[in-house]
Amino acid sequence: MTCTAVVLCAMGLLGGTASQAYADPKPGDARDAKPGAERGADSAEASLKRLQDVRKKIDALYRKAERATDAYNGAKEQVELQQKEIVKLARNIDRTQQRLAALKRQAGALASAQYRGGGMPSEAKLMLGADSGAFLDDATLVRKAQQAARGVITQLSRTKGELEDYSQAATDRWERLEAHRKKKESARRDIKKKIDAAKKLESRLAAKEKDRLKKLEDEEAFRTQQKWLDSGVLKEISNKASRFGKKAVAYATSQIGKDYVWGAEGPDTFDCSGLTLRAWQAGGTTIPRTSQEQWRQLHRVAIKDMRPGDLIIYFSDASHVGMYLGDGAIVHAPRPGRQVTITGAGSMPILGVVRPDADAPERDLGHR
């Protein structure tokens, strides 16, 4: 009897739900035009589409921020370089000024000596002098003195020219320094604007939606990585790390879990190129600061020839970089709000691969 009651109750509920779902909708009540399950599916689909749109907007903002970060890092590097050049020029100017002062004193002493000699013409001295031999000795000394005076004047003129050149170079450096400072500040504002906008978008999401957003990112990365692997690229990659590359890989992987912060070079936080910079310093090689300069200056290798420790440059503007670990994986600092992590080497559009230790002697390239 209890079972029968439960079955009847269930049938009643199903029947009621069905009759309510398929009854003619009341005027103006369009929500009841679809079955509950279908409305739920539509709602879930709309929610997913909204999240995908949010993810695309956030990705676009962080990509723009990453490009601005590269501009910021490049300007920062140039500021530091110009400051060093200005210090060097200032030292040269100081040394040249001291040399110029010494030459002026020497020229003054020569002028005084000439004045004390009365400036008498050589012919008059020969005619009035009793000892022609002494005169000739004096004439030889005079010629040497004149030659010395001309040498001092030449040095004086050349030193003045050097001083003017150094001063002009210092002025040029200051102008470049100010230009790079302005560029750096502009990039900093641009980065903050983009990151703040991305964070604002994320802050509007509920906790469950944020989790779903992270899953969508991971799913997209997985699909891209799988497509890259399906191309058969790993079948061609079999190289081993150099001993320098091993050290760089060891450093980079030991930073896993540390936060991404734009412009950071460690030791507690990193941006993408800050991580590769420090990793390769640990490997004994100094490389450019930004991913764009790493792409421009370092030796390029084909994907099939890459080995652990090589740097993979991403996106058409070379705005992101990761370090290849082998087996189709990289370690990288992804973006603000994320930590240094391992992901698929093909999870982003690859621009190319560069090798920091390409110039190292072959005998130093150890193998695993």
Q: Which residues of the chain have pLDDT under 50?
A: 1-32, 120, 123-128, 132, 135-136, 362-368
- pLDDT for res 304: 92
- pLDDT for res 234: 82
- pLDDT for res 7: 33
| Catalytic-labelled residue, pool 3, 272, 299, 367 | 272
User: By the 8 A CB rule, do 357 and 244 touch?
Assistant: yes
299 belongs to the catalytic site? no
- pLDDT for res 252: 96
Residue 23 DSSP code: S
Longest CA–CA separation in the chain, Å: 159
272 belongs to the catalytic site? yes
Give residue limits of the domains in the chain: 47-201, 208-364
367 belongs to the catalytic site? no
User: Which CATH fold would you assign to the domain 47-201?
Assistant: Helix Hairpins (1.10.287)
CA terminus-to-terminus distance, the chain:
75
How many whole angstroms separate alpha carbon 21 and alpha carbon 197?
42
CATH 3.90.1720.10 fits 208-364, yes or no: yes
- Concatenating the DSSP letter of every residue in 306-318 gives --TT-EEEETTTT
| Catalytic-labelled residue, pool 3, 9, 180, 320 | 320
- pLDDT for res 126: 45
How many whole angstroms separate alpha carbon 124 and alpha carbon 320?
85
| Catalytic-labelled residue, pool 180, 299, 332, 367 | 332
**Residues whose CB is less than 8 angstroms from the CB of residue 311 and which lie 6 or more positions away in sequence, other chains included:** 276, 294, 298, 321, 322, 323, 324, 353, 354, 355, 356
pTM: 0.57
- pLDDT for res 202: 77
How many whole angstroms separate alpha carbon 335 and alpha carbon 341?
11
